[in-house]
Amino acid sequence: MLRGSTAFSQYRCGRLLVATSSASGVLALTFGVVVTTGHATIWWIYALTFLLGLVLAVERPTMQAILFQLVGRDLLPNAVAANGTINSVSRLIGPAIAGVLIATVGVNVGFFINAGSYLIVIGALLSALRSSELVARPMIGQTKGRLREGFAYVRSHPDVARPLVIMAIVGAIALNFPTTFPSMVRFGFHRGAGSFGAAMSVSAIGSIIGGIYIAGIKPHPRRTLAIALTGFGAACAALALMPNYSTFVAMSVVLGFASASFQSVNTVVVQQSTEPSMQGRVMALHQTALFGSTPIGALLMGWVIHVSSPRIPFLLGGLSALLCAAVVGRRSHRVVTATA
């Protein structure tokens, strides 16, 4: 019975990723059609973006949960870090490709090319994901109230709840780079969109280096998380103190490294602390903690920038990460003392 349900879960995860990739491709195609026909309005953008958010809400936790089945528990930290590195590379290359397409063939063609790219993703999923080669992950039965079970599991496992709460706090206050970076470049250094793009691209280089570094180590659940939070907090605070654009860009490499390290370590800690049968639900909560908190934080940090300075959100983000590091570090010290 367990073996059968495990095989079904493996098949279901792969089928779910094919479905979400297909839906994303259809939405990209719809974007292209709307722009081409001249019907692109703010309400079309709102509607299609909302639908894309629903698709990503399913796709992201599924992708995180299937990593265990791809590599197993021993290689899970390396796989999570490698996945983060791939995302960083896409953030570095994707905007550059989009800019070239917009400048040469237009926005609508860029959407059509994006829609076509999902055919490659779907083909890779169908050809590469074989249930017989995936690591078995035990599953619990299909019952009602599975979301409540997920919350109950998190509440009863502090080692799982702690990194989730940290991700929500840091995500809301510190991980708002699409809001804080352009504000700093525009209002802090009085530069344009090109300078903002350069700063984000350079920070992505740091993210790639951070992902590669984390992929080569085996993080300790509490100690490594505390170190990553400390580095990220210090980098945020240092970025707020940069006197000019050049030093800001240079420090953004350090921030990218620290941000990627923290996010990778946090994800690894959650996965390692969660029973395989509950990873799907817990990773859904983890993705909610990250991608659900940042939009709320973006509104808050936008207000802070409006009433004070574009430097203040970086200081607040650094402070939040350092406080979380202190809590994790203190807890780790207590555990070590009790063990001794």
Contact between residue 248 and residue 184 where contact means Cβ atoms under 8 Å apart: yes
State the Cα–Cα distance between residues 318 and 232, nearest whole angstrom.
Answer: 7
Runs of H (alpha helix) within 37-134: 42-71, 76-104, 107-128
Ranges 48-62, 107-121, 300-314: which has the least confidence = 48-62
Q: How confident is the model at residue 331 (pLDDT cuts 50, 70, 90)?
A: low
3-state secondary structure of 153: helix
Query: Which residues of the chain form CATH 1.20.1250.20?
Result: 145-340
Q: Which residues contact 281 (CB under 8 A, 6 or more apart)?
A: 146, 147, 149, 150, 153
pLDDT at 133: 66
**Which of 221, 214, 78 is CA-nearest to residue 159?**
221
State the Cα–Cα distance between residues 191 and 173, nearest whole angstrom.
Answer: 24
State the Cα–Cα distance between residues 102 and 108, nearest whole angstrom.
Answer: 8
State the Cα–Cα distance between residues 288 and 285, nearest whole angstrom.
Answer: 5
pLDDT at 95: 65
Q: How confident is the model at residue 232 (pLDDT cuts 50, 70, 90)?
A: very high
DSSP string, 179-205: HHHHHIIIIIS---HHHHHHHHHHHHH
CATH 3.20.20.70 fits 145-340, yes or no: no
State the Cα–Cα distance between residues 78 and 84, nearest whole angstrom.
Answer: 10
| In the predicted structure, residue 186 carries a pLDDT above the cut 80 | yes
pLDDT at 203: 84
Round the average pLDDT of the chain to a whole number and report it: 81
pLDDT at 3: 42
Copy the structure tokens of residue 101. Answer: 């397409």
> Residue 263's Cα: distance from chain center in Å?
7
Q: Is the dihedral of CA 172, 177, 179, 180 positive or negative?
A: positive
| In the predicted structure, residue 167 carries a pLDDT above the cut 70 | yes
Tally DSSP H helices, then E strands, for the chain: 13, 0
pLDDT at 140: 54
**Which of 90, 87, 132, 110 is CA-nearest to residue 31?**
110
**Residues 20-74: tens digit of each pLDDT:** 999 999 999 999 999 999 888 889 988 988 898 888 878 877 777 777 777 777 7
Q: How confident is the model at residue 308 (pLDDT cuts 50, 70, 90)?
A: very high
DSSP code for 131: G
pLDDT at 2: 37
End-to-end CA distance of the chain: 42
3-state secondary structure of 152: helix
| In the predicted structure, residue 85 carries a pLDDT above the cut 90 | no
| In the predicted structure, residue 338 carries a pLDDT above the cut 70 | no
**What percentage of the chain reaches a pLDDT higher than 70?**
84
Q: Which residues contact 79 (CB under 8 A, 6 or more apart)?
A: 67, 70, 71
**Residues 252-266: tens digit of each pLDDT:** 999 989 988 898 888
Q: How confident is the model at residue 138 (pLDDT cuts 50, 70, 90)?
A: low
**Which of 141, 109, 120 is CA-nearest to residue 18?**
120
